[in-house]
Amino acid sequence: MKFAILVNEDPFGHQAAQSALSFAQAVLASGHELVRVFFYMGGVYNANRLASPPMEDRNIVREWAELAAKDGVDLVICIAAGVARGVREANLAPGFRISGIGQLVEAAVIADRLITFGA
Amino acid sequence: MRRKSFLFVNRKAPYGAGRAAEALEAALVAASLGQEVHLAYLDDGVFQLLAGQEPARLGRRDFTASLQELGEYDIDHVWVDGQSLRERGLTPADLLVAATLLDRAAMAELMAGMDVVVSI
Amino acid sequence: MGPLHTVNKSPFAGPALDSCLGHLTEGAALLLIEDGVYAAVADSAAAAKLAMAAGRYAIYALGPDLAARGLGKASLLDGIMVIDYLGFVDLAVRHSTVQAWL
């Protein structure tokens, strides 16, 4: 089955991004397809290459990047939300790309399920 | 692109921690891509529809302007939970859009019948 | 199968759980995640509401979120099924949509 995920929150202010990441990893571990993860609003901070969380915390930005590298998951941040929050090409983590909300809509149309994680 | 039914569920008041503008923006994009778009307002989300808002007072762009132009995006389905409205001392006359009031059971059926439910 | 509903708020923090319970339909299921799992504790004020729904709908709680909050060994309301993320994925597969009560 094809899944798409929407992430609305940054990795530091709310558990949503961690939940989304764990869910994404479980989708792949179950042998399903993850067609796209779309990061909206504060979710764009998941793509900030300059983030360095304390050692004992999970490095969410890096784990997303690994999903893209190993499993080819399409990670897309909303361009308007990114520009507003200072997440752009210059500090975009590997594996992510920048595009519009149309990518969220398209992902929801292609996928059999859209799962939202937010505050 | 295939056409699906999308329900955008709005349950938050618009300014404190609200995402009214972002939810609406996503709905408008979905509509412009030919999707069947429904907007549902319940709990504190009904405050998003209150007439007379002045977002400029907080230095915010006016998302209510888009709400008044939904017809231009072919969004004809605006659903409001009647109980949420009553609990907050509001009536349909207080709203800035023509919305259809639903009871809990009808809203639940609407939600269950959608292809995609988006919460923002 | 009907929708899978997820609630991620403590039942003491707002109306998310109440509102969700009011919108369950035939074949729907409820999954408590993040702070939503606090509703699963047996004998809490929220458990009474959940108990009413538990007779008609399948109710789940996410194990890692319970454990992180010190509820891994807590006594939970009868009928609540504890699942992991693989179980969450499986539930999403088996239900028509997934609706998050944010």
Please check whether residue A13 is in contact with residue A41, taking contact to mean a CB–CB distance below 8 angstroms: no
d(CA A106, CA A72): 18
CATH number of the domain to which A79 belongs = 3.40.1260.10
Residue of B nearest to C25 (CA): B108
pLDDT at C1 over 90: no
With a CB cutoff of 8 Å and minimum separation 6, the contacts of C39 are C7, C10, C11, C17, C32, C46, C47, C49, C50
For residue B77, the surrounding DSSP H or E stretch is strand B77-81
Q: Do B19 and A106 touch (CB under 8 A)?
A: no
Q: Over chain B, what is the mean pLDDT? A: 96
Judge whether A119 is closer than 8 Å to chain C, CB to CB: yes
User: Residue range B12-16: average pLDDT?
Assistant: 94
| Total of domains in chain C | 1
pLDDT at C25 over 90: yes
- Predicted confidence at residue A62, as pLDDT, reads 97
- Predicted confidence at residue B55, as pLDDT, reads 94
CATH of the domain spanning B5-119: 3.40.1260.10
Judge whether A68 is closer than 8 Å to chain C, CB to CB: no
Residue of B nearest to A108 (CA): B116
d(CA C34, CA C65): 5
- Predicted confidence at residue B18, as pLDDT, reads 76
d(CA B48, CA C49): 28
For residue A37, the surrounding DSSP H or E stretch is strand A33-39
- Predicted confidence at residue C74, as pLDDT, reads 87
CATH number of the domain to which C16 belongs = 3.40.1260.10
pLDDT at B17 over 90: no
User: Of B5, B38, B43, which to mutate for an interface test with C (greatest number of C Cβ within 10 Å)?
Assistant: B43
C65: which chain A residues are within 8 Å (Cβ-Cβ)? Answer: 15, 19
- What percent of chain C stands above pLDDT 90? 89
pLDDT at B59 over 80: yes
| Total of domains in chain A | 1
User: Residue range C49-77: average pLDDT?
Assistant: 95
Question: Is this complex's ipTM strictly greater than 0.95?
Answer: yes
Instruction: Extract the residue ranges of chain A whose pLDDT is less than 70.
Output: none
Domain boundaries defined on chain B? 5-119
Q: Note the pLDDT tens digit of each residue in A50-71.
A: 999 998 899 999 999 999 999 9
d(CA B2, CA B39): 20
pLDDT at B21 over 90: yes
Active-site positions of A? 78
Q: Do A32 and C85 touch (CB under 8 A)?
A: no
Q: Which domain holds residue A55?
A: 2-117
- Predicted confidence at residue A10, as pLDDT, reads 97
Q: Do C98 and A118 touch (CB under 8 A)?
A: no
- Chains touching chain A through at least 3 C-beta pairs below 8 angstroms are B, C
